[in-house]
């Protein structure tokens, strides 16, 4: 792990990109945690939480193919900065949500933020290989892959504490400051965030650029397999809807729900480092990806039948350790194999499929949460992910071989 983090001490530009991602991801939690509590208090209805999550993931998924194209055509640094400022504007709109009548403005604000995040994610992922030396890319991926898990622990915890102690609007203010900090850190990065383009070439139309990336995926079964990996955990993501119910079922209450989210983040933080050796061995990559998907599914099948809450926490940790490793392994493979001129579009497709899977899973769980026992929802999500892992491994058993790597 010390070797992985040495890239932070040696590379100032990567340190700034990593810091920007930390505060941007942290700002998400300073918005979501208090907002999911505020809206039911203002409206008396729990449906608003599901709508907020659906708007956040659904809009993101719908736009990613288009925004990934822009990440390959325009300056990625400017895209990241402008995205942060647009999310900042969305956070400011949340200060107007003060009553049941103004509650719909929360969906408008979250929608604006989701649009901006759809620009941010593919640009940041595509930029990473350009701010580090090639030999540092595995370590940089392990560190970068820990940002989401780190801020799930820190951001969710602090967002809940600040929201409870000072109110949701103070928490929104903290998010706004985080976003401005992220924009500043990104502006200070000196290395180019993409390979030089041919200035004399006429810019591609968006429709042509999208067709080019889809043609690339059709011609490269290995890359096509890699962009379908994250959907496994995404289809099992409906488990988050029942986290508070699981805690209540075990008599753990609000503290138990907080612990579930915390160990989820801890698993996602540890996973990229634990399975980092797989990044150095091509022959381990596809078996490792299949194993990580299967472990996620099996762990939640275990949560569904476990009567002891400490064991539930261990299994949730294991599930998201596998999920975090899955995310980092697939990102690293894509960053190393996809040409820079296509990288933003391919990552956009990758993220689009993952977020669509998350949205479908969360909406499905929301639709049945009041009529189906939470254990069945957990078991269903776990089983879907496990079956996906088995099917994916069977379908990719040939393209996963190192000799099948596409150019």
Checking if the pLDDT of 322 tops 80, the result is: yes
Checking if the pLDDT of 365 tops 50, the result is: yes
In a domain, 240, yes or no: yes
pLDDT at 406: 39
In a domain, 130, yes or no: yes
In a domain, 198, yes or no: no
Is 244 found in the same domain as 187?
Answer: no
In a domain, 406, yes or no: no
Is 224 found in the same domain as 188?
Answer: no
Task: Over range 31-38, report the average pLDDT.
Answer: 81
Question: What pLDDT, in 10s, does the model give residues 220-231?
Answer: 888 888 888 888
In 132-188, where does DSSP find H-type helix? 137-166, 168-187
Is 177 found in the same domain as 242?
Answer: no
Is 72 found in the same domain as 176?
Answer: yes
Among 66-75, 111-120, 350-359, 397-406, the minimum mean pLDDT is found in: 397-406
Could you tell me if residue 201 is left (phi over 0), alpha (psi between -120 and 50 degrees) or otherwise beta? Answer: beta
Is 329 found in the same domain as 270?
Answer: yes
Positive or negative torsion for Cα 42, 43, 44, 50: negative
In this structure, are residues 293 and 302 in contact, taking their beta carbons and an 8 Å threshold?
no
In a domain, 393, yes or no: yes
Is 142 found in the same domain as 21?
Answer: yes
CATH number for position 272: 1.20.1250.20
* Pair of tokens at residue 178: 């985080």
Task: Over range 101-117, report the average pLDDT.
Answer: 92
Final residue before a domain boundary, out of 176, 193, 210: 193
In a domain, 213, yes or no: no
pLDDT at 398: 77
pLDDT bin (cut points 50, 70, 90) of residue 208 is low
Query: Distance between CA 293 and CA 64 in Å, rounded?
Result: 23
Checking if the pLDDT of 22 tops 50, the result is: yes
Is 178 found in the same domain as 33?
Answer: yes
Query: Distance between CA 148 and CA 199 in Å, rounded?
Result: 36
Question: What pLDDT, in 10s, does the model give residues 266-319?
Answer: 888 787 777 666 656 667 788 888 998 999 999 999 999 998 999 999 999 999
Residue 161 belongs to domain spanning: 1-193
Question: What pLDDT, in 10s, does the model give residues 56-97?
Answer: 878 877 887 778 778 878 889 999 999 999 999 999 999 999
Is 342 found in the same domain as 239?
Answer: yes
Task: Over range 173-178, report the average pLDDT.
Answer: 94
Is 299 found in the same domain as 245?
Answer: yes
pLDDT bin (cut points 50, 70, 90) of residue 3 is low
pLDDT at 405: 37
Q: Report phi then psi at 406, rounded to 5.
A: -85, 155
Question: What pLDDT, in 10s, does the model give residues 336-360?
Answer: 788 877 877 787 788 788 888 888 8
pLDDT at 210: 65
Task: Name the CA dihedral angle for 368, 103, 149, 11, rounded to a multiple of 10 degrees.
Answer: 150
In this structure, are residues 388 and 235 in contact, taking their beta carbons and an 8 Å threshold?
yes
Query: Distance between CA 380 and CA 360 in Å, rounded?
Result: 13
pLDDT at 369: 73
Is 182 found in the same domain as 228?
Answer: no
In this structure, are residues 368 and 377 in contact, taking their beta carbons and an 8 Å threshold?
yes
In a domain, 212, yes or no: no
Is 383 found in the same domain as 238?
Answer: yes
Alpha-carbon distances, residue 98 vs 42, 58, 161, 174 (angstroms): 8, 25, 20, 18
Is 48 found in the same domain as 186?
Answer: yes
Alpha-carbon distances, residue 191 vs 131, 194, 214, 338 (angstroms): 6, 9, 29, 20
Alpha-carbon distances, residue 165 vs 38, 94, 160, 177 (angstroms): 13, 18, 8, 18
Number of domains forming the structure of the chain:
2
In this structure, are residues 216 and 72 in contact, taking their beta carbons and an 8 Å threshold?
no
SS (H, E, C) 386-401: HHHHHHHHHHCCCCCC
Residues in the chain: 407
Helix (H, G, I), strand (E, B) or coil at 230: coil
Checking if the pLDDT of 382 tops 60, the result is: yes
Long-range contacts of the stretch 313-317 (C-beta < 8 A, 24+): 313/259, 313/260, 313/263, 314/263, 316/260, 316/263, 316/264, 316/267, 317/263, 317/264, 317/266, 317/267
């Amino acid at each position: 792990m010390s070797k992985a983090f040495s890239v932070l001490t040696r590379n100032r530009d990567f340190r700034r990109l990593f810091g920007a991602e930390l505060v941007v991801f942290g700002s998400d939690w300073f918005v979501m945690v208090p907002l999911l509590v505020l809206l039911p208090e203002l409206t008396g209805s729990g449906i608003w939480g599901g709508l907020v999550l659906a708007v956040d993931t659904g809009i993101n998924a719908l736009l990613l193919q288009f925004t990934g194209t822009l990440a390959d055509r325009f300056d990625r640094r400017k895209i990241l900065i402008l995205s942060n400022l647009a999310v900042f504007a969305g956070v400011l709109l949340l200060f107007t949500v003060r009553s049941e009548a103004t509650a719909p403005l929360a969906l408008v604000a979250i929608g604006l933020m989701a649009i901006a995040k759809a620009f941010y994610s593919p640009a940041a992922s595509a930029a990473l290989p350009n701010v580090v030396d090639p030999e540092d890319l595995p370590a940089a991926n392990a560190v970068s892959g820990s940002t989401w898990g780190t801020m799930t622990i820190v951001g969710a915890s602090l967002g809940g504490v600040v929201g409870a102690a000072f109110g949701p609007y103070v928490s929104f203010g903290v998010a706004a400051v985080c976003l401005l900090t992220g924009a500043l850190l990104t502006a200070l990065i000196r290395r180019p965030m993409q390979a030089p383009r041919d200035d004399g070439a006429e810019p591609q139309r968006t429709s042509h650029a999208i067709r080019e990336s889809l043609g690339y995926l059709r011609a490269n079964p290995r890359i096509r397999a890699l962009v379908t990996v994250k959907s496994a955990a995404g289809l099992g993501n409906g488990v988050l809807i029942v986290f508070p119910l699981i805690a209540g079922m075990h008599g753990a209450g609000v503290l138990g729900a907080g612990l579930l989210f915390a160990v989820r983040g801890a698993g996602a933080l540890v996973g990229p480092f634990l399975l980092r050796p797989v990044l150095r061995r091509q022959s381990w990559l596809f078996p490792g990806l299949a194993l990580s998907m299967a472990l996620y599914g099996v762990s939640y099948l275990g949560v569904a039948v476990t009567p002891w809450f400490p064991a539930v926490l261990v299994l949730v940790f294991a599930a998201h350790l596998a999920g975090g490793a899955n995310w980092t392994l697939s990102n690293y493979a894509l960053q190393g194999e996809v040409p820079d001129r296509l990288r933003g579009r391919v990552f956009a497709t990758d993220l689009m499929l993952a977020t669509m899977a998350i949205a479908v899973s969360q909406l499905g769980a929301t639709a049945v949460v009041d009529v189906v026992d939470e254990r069945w929802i957990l078991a269903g999500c776990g089983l879907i992910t496990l079956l996906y892992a088995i099917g994916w491994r069977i379908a990719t058993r040939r393209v996963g071989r190192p000799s099948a790597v596409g150019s």
